[in-house]
Amino acid sequence: MRRIFYQTMTDKKHMNKPAFVSTCVGLSLSCFATLFQVTAQASTPLERPAALAADIEFWRRVYGEITTSQGFIHDSARLDIIYATVNLSKGNDRSRYSSAVAADEQYVAALRAVAGGKREGLSSAEQRVVNLWGPDLNKAVLLAASERVRFQLGQSDRFREGIIRSGAWEAYVKKAIADADLPTEIAALPHVESSYNPAAYSKVGAAGMWQFMQSTGKRFMRIDNVMDERLDPYHSTRSAILLLKQNYQVTQSWPLAITAYNHGASGMRRAIAELGTDDITTIVREYKGRTFGFASRNFYVSFLAAVEVADKAEYYFGKLSRDPPDMSAVVKMPSYIDSRTLIEALGVSETYLARMNPSLSAVVWRGSKHIPQGFDLRLPTTVDDPTVFLASVPASAWRAEQIPDLFHIVQKGETLSAIAPRYGARVSDLIAINSLTSRAFIRTGQKLILPAGVAASAGPAVNQGIYPAQADAGVASVAEPGGAASVGVLVSAPTTQTATASADVSEVEAQVEVEMAVVDAQSSQSDFASDRLDQPRLLADPNDYSVAKDQTIRIQEGETIGHYADWLGIRASDIRRVNAMRNQSGVRVGRRLKLEFTKATPGEFEAARILFHQSMQEQFFAQHLIVGTAEHLVRSGESIWVLAERRYEVPVWLLRQYNPDLDLENVKPDTRVIIPVLSTVIS
């Protein structure tokens, strides 16, 4: 079946900016830089392979020449083949999409006609095909090309908006990158990810200027019902640097480290192992990984194009007046405090203070949670001295503890619209505090956090807790307010702070499937985030959880024969038999193990395996954050296991992620070991 790839006409993540935009900075820049004791060799300028020049040129034109009212009809594998520049029809998203599809189909038909031998009475589209593919018109080549016709929406107007917006944050971003000794060009990455929009959301759950998914962001930032630090341009910048630094430590290549920002470090390690090279051109051209689609293949070249356009912004967009740099003051909260108390003490509006501190969730501004202890509150420059401000707050206003969470355990058949009134809450409150979307699905047994102040006597399903349970993915029933219940699977729920149901519905309805092969484009600049729907949700984990072609796996930390048997639906003795293992013998981390797939597919096994590790890692990162790295040179007689668990208090599985090629059971003296530096999350 022919597949037509297209770029979504609308990009809601640049819209729906919350009224309560916020900020939280956990570590000072100087502290952050100090923690980077391990430096990567930042090559400047970054490698720009001549063989990828046509690909870079394609994205330069997307970013610098054509707007969101236009698009290219092109070959998805040969970016030098651009069939036409399409001017989209005016009107709603559906009509704009239809005009793109019509142009798309025209060139599919033209390719097939020329492949069939047509040479006379050519239409303009058919003549264009002949001109582009040259006189040697191979039938097989043209038929294959007819399967690769793709539409790419222009981005120059959005890129221009991002250049203007970047004035507020770019100086900080560049300094943080320089202090961490990363390539200076990385400052252009937010142009690709979000058009430098700190409030950007994607439908798959990526958020903020650097577009972190929750599972990755939780390693470096606090993301829960009180705060989402992905929305803080300062903290998310530091976290992006940490992630990129880890990607480089794992891949030892900046082109691959940057590609891993989209595809994951584990995916790039698989590419290196499969092709036997870390050459970015070879990987882009030849790697056929299951999730290494158009977005991942083009991430590095599009990034290089963004660097060029950003560096020559006035050439592409004319004279620009950038937003002024953010000059807000910062004061660390010595204890917990109600937001209303601060608003009264400052004499500013709630909306104004919320916009300066976008990481604080709606429940904080509603009074259901306190502003956390240790939070770096950003204040307007009209506040002369933050210390004087703190002294003006009555001592009785400070609290020693956070308002505790109350939970409701979802029963069979319950919906959000039925649960909310039982506790005198609004559906929107439940959506916000549980990091759901208005069209998310809850499931039986799920633990829902309730707003503070609800009746604790509502029933035995209510329990007190300290830390929230994140919304689980699974099958469940949910009803919109006033609507009927439905059943579905929640793939990924963004941490939204307000309900945006109407926007979500209109966007979904505007997307029409083309022969059941729609690629859902999520990113601001191209459809880069679309790959994230298909990838394992452990992009920051470089370990390989896939099944090899010979049906073997590499054993990872925390796994047992019993786990494999459960995931495969077979007996542990069957696995031992296939591997000629003695009864009761254990497995060794790093070794390969043969599996039998008689009752489960490799994909089903991988999904269960990834879910196991994701759950383990999420539990750990609910209590800890990675704030930097250190280096340890192994001395004679030292055990990595003892170093990890006693000296550095780092779980061995996390240590392995920063040192994936290290044999932890046979480490020689003077071996360099990267140690992740951890901080404890304060509720």
Per-residue pLDDT, 319: 96
Is the pLDDT at 8 greater than 50? The verdict is no
**What is the band of 348 on the pLDDT scale with cuts at 50, 70, 90?**
confident
HSE-CB at 312 with a 13 A cutoff on CA atoms is 11
Q: What is the pLDDT of residues 183-205, one digit of tens each?
A: 999 999 999 999 999 999 988 88
Specify the range with the lowest mean pLDDT, choosing from 159-163, 354-358, 438-442, 505-509: 505-509
Per-residue pLDDT, 358: 96
175 in Cβ contact with 144 (< 8 Å): no
Q: What is the pLDDT of residues 578-617, one digit of tens each?
A: 999 988 778 888 889 999 999 999 999 999 999 899 889 9
Residue 281, in any domain of the structure: no
Q: What is the pTM of this model?
A: 0.80
**CA dihedral (181, 183, 185, 191) positive or negative:** negative
**What is the band of 332 on the pLDDT scale with cuts at 50, 70, 90?**
very high
Per-residue pLDDT, 384: 65
Is the pLDDT at 25 greater than 50? The verdict is no
How far apart CA 204 and CA 182 sit, in angstroms, is 28
Specify the range with the lowest mean pLDDT, choosing from 316-320, 408-412, 477-481, 537-541: 477-481
Domain boundary among 395, 418, 444: 395
Is the pLDDT at 451 greater than 60? The verdict is yes
Per-residue pLDDT, 431: 81
Examine the domain organization and report whether 355 and 412 are in the same domain: no
Is the pLDDT at 635 greater than 90? The verdict is yes
Examine the domain organization and report whether 379 and 420 are in the same domain: no
Examine the domain organization and report whether 599 and 675 are in the same domain: no
Residue 367, in any domain of the structure: yes
Per-residue pLDDT, 42: 54
**What is the band of 622 on the pLDDT scale with cuts at 50, 70, 90?**
confident
Residue 219, in any domain of the structure: no
CA angle 274, 275, 280 (to 5 degrees): 125
Examine the domain organization and report whether 418 and 490 are in the same domain: yes
Examine the domain organization and report whether 595 and 629 are in the same domain: no
Examine the domain organization and report whether 93 and 149 are in the same domain: yes
Indicate left, alpha or beta for 205 from its phi (over 0: left) and psi (-120 to 50: alpha): left
Per-residue pLDDT, 414: 87
As a whole-number percent, the residues of the chain with pLDDT over 70 amount to 80
104: domain range? 69-153
State how many domains the chain has: 5
Closest CA to 487 of 541, 412, 540: 412
Per-residue pLDDT, 92: 77
As a whole-number percent, the residues of the chain with pLDDT over 90 amount to 57
Measured in whole angstroms, the distance separating CA 8 from the mean position of its chain's CA atoms is 18
Mean pLDDT across 295-305: 97
Per-residue pLDDT, 672: 93
Domain boundary among 99, 132, 153: 153
Output phi, psi for 238, to 5 deg: -60, -35
Closest CA to 261 of 276, 245, 272: 245
Greatest mean pLDDT among 36-50, 90-104, 143-157, 499-513 lies in: 143-157
To the nearest whole number, what is the mean pLDDT of the chain? 81
Closest CA to 379 of 325, 326, 329: 329
Q: Which long-range contacts (CB under 8 A, 24 or more apart) does 648-656 make?
A: 648/675, 649/678, 650/675, 650/676, 650/678, 651/557, 651/620, 652/557, 653/556, 653/557, 653/558, 653/613, 653/616, 653/617, 654/620, 656/543, 656/556, 656/557, 656/589
**What is the band of 455 on the pLDDT scale with cuts at 50, 70, 90?**
low
Examine the domain organization and report whether 414 and 461 are in the same domain: yes
Domain boundary among 153, 183, 213: 153
How far apart CA 258 and CA 433 sit, in angstroms, is 33
Examine the domain organization and report whether 389 and 428 are in the same domain: no
Per-residue pLDDT, 2: 37
Residue 576, in any domain of the structure: yes
| Helix or strand holding residue 675 (H, E) | strand 672-680
**What is the band of 91 on the pLDDT scale with cuts at 50, 70, 90?**
confident
Cα(first)–Cα(last) distance of the chain, in Å? Answer: 52
Examine the domain organization and report whether 370 and 425 are in the same domain: no
Per-residue pLDDT, 481: 26
Examine the domain organization and report whether 104 and 81 are in the same domain: yes
**What is the band of 383 on the pLDDT scale with cuts at 50, 70, 90?**
low
Strands of 207-265, DSSP E: none
Measured in whole angstroms, the distance separating CA 31 from the mean position of its chain's CA atoms is 25
Size of the chain, expressed as the number of residues it contains: 683
Residue 459, in any domain of the structure: yes
The SS3 of residue 560 is coil
Examine the domain organization and report whether 630 and 567 are in the same domain: no
CB atoms within 10 A of CB 199: 20
Specify the range with the lowest mean pLDDT, choosing from 283-297, 318-332, 515-529: 515-529
Mean pLDDT across 283-298: 94
Residue 432, in any domain of the structure: yes
Specify the range with the lowest mean pLDDT, choosing from 23-32, 60-69, 386-395, 468-477: 468-477
Residue 220, in any domain of the structure: no
189 in Cβ contact with 303 (< 8 Å): yes
β-bridge pairing 405-409 and 376-379: unpaired
CATH number for the domain spanning 646: value is 3.10.350.10
Residue 145, in any domain of the structure: yes
Mean pLDDT across 638-643: 88
Tally: H helices and E strands in the chain:
27, 16
Examine the domain organization and report whether 90 and 146 are in the same domain: yes
